[in-house]
């Protein structure tokens, strides 16, 4: 597992304000084909909301996605990566922090997301797994 | 990759009923710590199941529902938490046998561009194997 985070990350992350609704984030996840929304304020990363967060913090809690704001459910105090970090470092963070997705920050600004799928695909680029499109439905 | 599918799967299939609400399904997936649930229907009780159908605890397997399905097919479409979860399912599932090599699961995921496969043993669903189970990040 060699290479840099910039080589495997999904660039151009979806960024939204903490005041946006969960419904708006779900629509963005659908339209952009992603499972993560980065929550930003003045261009700086404040937190992250994933599909999983919406399942367990909104649907399972009977909260209304139209009135629940990202600021109510986001995960803050995130472990973050830099584009120049080694992929091996990313894999270690994913394992040690038991997270599936990590934001990538350059000069304080979010520039990408690395997911456990990106790492699996990178593990052996000649393996069959690498032929599963990174954008394939999560099922 | 010498492991069998049985060795890497998440055993004990987590099932939700077709008619259960989206909110109930979300709580089941939360409580069991899984990102996908098998959706079952009671067709088996009415004798509608053929011997080609897969069975979970005497109920027929209808489909699979994931966190992503709940988000893009319910929340993004303004469906309420009291609506049934069944219609959100992905159908036409591809199964793999518990005693197959893990490499077989990899090949099936590649061929069908899916990330999760129900695992079959003795005609019943014994678990789910996911992309993450097959290629966990490590330092190799």
Work out the average pLDDT over A100-125: 81
Greater confidence, B94 or A133?
B94
B68 → closest Cβ in A51, A100, A131 = A51
A55 → closest Cβ in B26, B115, B138 = B26
Residue of chain A whose Cα is closest to the Cα of B74: A26
pLDDT tops 80 at residue B46 = no
How far apart CA B118 and CA B67 sit, in angstroms, is 16
Most confident of A8-12, B8-12, B43-47: A8-12
- State residue A137 phi and psi, 5-degree precision: -55, 145
User: Which residues, 6 or more positions from A107, have their beta carbon under 8 angstroms from its beta carbon?
Assistant: none
The minimum CA-CA distance between B117 and chain A, rounded to whole Å, is: 8
Size of interface A-B (CB pairs under 8 A): 131
A59 → closest Cβ in B68, B81, B107 = B81
Asked if A59's CB is within 8 angstroms of B70's CB, the reply is yes
The total of other beta-carbon atoms located within 10 Å of residue B53's CB is 13
Domains and CATH numbers, chain A: 5-131 (3.10.580.10)
Q: Do the strands A101-106 and A44-50 form a parallel or antiparallel pair, or are they unpaired? A: unpaired
Give the pLDDT band of residue B49 (cuts 50, 70, 90). Answer: very low
The minimum CA-CA distance between A51 and chain B, rounded to whole Å, is: 6
Given a contact cutoff of 8 angstroms between Cβ atoms, the answer to whether A39 and A46 are in contact is yes
Within 8 A of B30 by CB-CB distance, chain A residues are 55-56, 60
Q: Which pLDDT does position A127 carry in this prediction?
A: 44
pLDDT in tens, A46-92: 999 999 999 999 999 999 999 999 999 999 988 999 999 999 999 89
How far apart CA B66 and CA A139 sit, in angstroms, is 7
Q: Is the dihedral of CA B123, B126, B128, B133 positive or negative?
A: negative
- State residue A84 phi and psi, 5-degree precision: -85, 0
3-state helix, strand, coil in chain A (%, to 5): 35, 25, 40
Asked if A55's CB is within 8 angstroms of B137's CB, the reply is no
Asked if B27's CB is within 8 angstroms of A60's CB, the reply is yes
Greater confidence, B2 or A61?
A61
pTM: 0.83
B64 → closest Cβ in A92, A116, A139 = A139
Q: Which pLDDT does position B41 carry in this prediction?
A: 82
């Amino acid at each position: 597992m060699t290479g840099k985070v910039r080589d495997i990350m999904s660039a151009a992350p979806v960024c939204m304000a903490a005041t946006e609704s969960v419904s708006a984030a779900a629509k963005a996840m659908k339209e952009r084909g992603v499972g993560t929304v980065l929550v930003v304020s003045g261009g700086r990363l404040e937190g992250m909301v994933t599909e999983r967060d919406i399942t367990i913090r909104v649907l399972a809690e009977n909260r209304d996605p139209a009135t629940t704001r990202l600021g109510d459910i986001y995960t803050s105090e995130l472990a973050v990566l830099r584009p120049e970090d080694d992929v091996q470092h990313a894999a270690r963070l994913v394992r040690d922090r038991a997270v599936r997705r990590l934001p990538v920050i350059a000069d304080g600004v979010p520039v990408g997301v690395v997911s456990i799928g990106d790492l699996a695909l990178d593990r052996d680029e000649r393996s069959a797994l690498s032929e599963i499109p990174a954008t394939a439905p999560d099922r | 990759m010498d492991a069998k599918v049985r060795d890497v799967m998440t055993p004990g299939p987590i099932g939700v009923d077709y008619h259960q609400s989206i909110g109930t399904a979300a709580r089941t997936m939360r409580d069991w710590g899984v990102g996908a649930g098998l959706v079952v229907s009671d067709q088996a009780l009415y004798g509608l199941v053929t011997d080609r159908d897969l069975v979970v605890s005497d109920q027929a397997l209808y489909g699979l529902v994931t966190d992503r399905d709940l988000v893009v097919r319910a929340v993004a479409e303004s469906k309420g938490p009291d609506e049934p979860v069944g219609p959100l399912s992905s159908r036409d599932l591809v199964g793999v046998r518990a005693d197959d090599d893990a490499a077989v699961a990899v090949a099936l995921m590649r061929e069908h561009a899916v990330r999760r496969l129900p695992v079959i043993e003795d005609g019943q669903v014994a678990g789910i194997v996911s992309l993450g189970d097959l290629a966990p990040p490590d330092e190799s």
